[in-house]
Amino acid sequence: MTIEITRPEVEALINQRLQNGGFKDAEDVVLQALQSSPSKAATPSSNAAVAKDMVELFAPLRGLNIDFEADRSRDTGRNINL
């Protein structure tokens, strides 16, 4: 099987993982990503627990070096003249 990466951002992410170490080649990066992500067949059942917040929702992505900030921007609000 031959896989062609056509999106520059995907290629950049793979190269970043290779430079950070822990992977021997691009195939190893893809293998790790596939093993750490749920398959389509593993959809949550109706009895599955629902993530309580964004941090819990994205917990499986922890360690993938993705720029993700769980803190919300505080809305300063706006003046309301009544």
71 is a domain residue: no
What percentage of the chain carries pLDDT values higher than 70? 67
56 is a domain residue: yes
70 is a domain residue: no
79 is a domain residue: no
27 is a domain residue: yes
Average pLDDT, the chain: 76
| Structural domain range at position 29 | 8-38+48-61
Q: What pLDDT, on a 0 to 100 scale, did the predictor assign at position 45?
A: 52
- List the one residue out of 8, 4, 64 whose CA is nearest residue 34: 64
2 is a domain residue: no
CB atoms < 10 A from the CB of 14, how many?
A: 19
| pTM for the structure as a whole | 0.44
CA atoms within 13 A on the CB side of 42: 5
69 is a domain residue: no
- List the one residue out of 31, 28, 27, 21 whose CA is nearest residue 65: 21
Q: What pLDDT, on a 0 to 100 scale, did the predictor assign at position 48?
A: 53
pLDDT, one tens digit per residue, over 22-62 is: 888 989 988 888 888 877 665 555 445 677 777 777 777 66
Return the structure tokens found at 8: 């520059």
Selected residue with higher pLDDT from 5 and 69: 5
Q: What pLDDT, on a 0 to 100 scale, did the predictor assign at position 46?
A: 47
The total of structural domains in the chain comes to: 1
1 is a domain residue: no
Residue pair 68/58 in contact (Cβ under 8 Å)? The answer is: yes
